[in-house]
Amino acid sequence: MGRSRGGLTTKIHALVDALGLPIGLKLTEGQAHDGRSADDMLDGLGEGCVLLADRAYDSDAMRNALAARGAWACVKPMPNRKRIPAFSPFLYRYRNLVERFFNKLKHFRAIATRYDKRDDNFLASVQLASIRIWLRHNESVA
């Protein structure tokens, strides 16, 4: 995907549910802005859903797209915004579910060190690791 002096650079974008389990995954180049990749991941959000995301995803276009679907964006606003949109610090505390998912994902050595050179192979590895995370969760519940 992306290249830098350090080698291959790839960002993993994840959409997780209320239990921290992945429901959407996407890869982009490491240099690409996060906000551009959010549009096609929002299809899984319906009416009454809340999107918890970091500041990189803060844009009026994304908020309007979510409002059209009946969902709400709880995104910490950028400090340089003129009109600050509604934000709930209480709900934002649950964003750690996404960070905890990435922590579980990094426990897989092939993902943490990026063994795969091609982006489709790397995405397949990320998806396999995500399936394993789902299975581990279902084992502990059953």
Pairing mode of beta strands 50-53, 22-29: unpaired
CA angle 46, 119, 136 (to 5 degrees): 60
Per-residue pLDDT of the chain (142 residues; tens, 9 = 90+): 666 666 668 888 898 998 999 999 999 888 888 877 777 888 878 888 888 888 888 888 888 888 898 999 899 888 888 888 888 989 999 999 999 999 999 999 988 888 888 889 999 999 999 999 999 998 877 6
Q: Which CATH number fits domain 2-141: 1.25.40, 3.30.420, 1.20.272, 3.40.50?
A: 3.30.420
Q: Would you list the DSSP string of 35-93?
A: GGGSGGGGGG--TT-EEEE-GGG--HHHHHHHHHHT-EEEEPPPTT-SSPPP--HHHHG
The whole model's pTM is what? 0.84
Can you give the residue ranges of every domain in the chain? 2-141
In this predicted structure, what is the pLDDT of residue 31?
Answer: 84
In this predicted structure, what is the pLDDT of residue 37?
Answer: 77
In this predicted structure, what is the pLDDT of residue 142?
Answer: 61
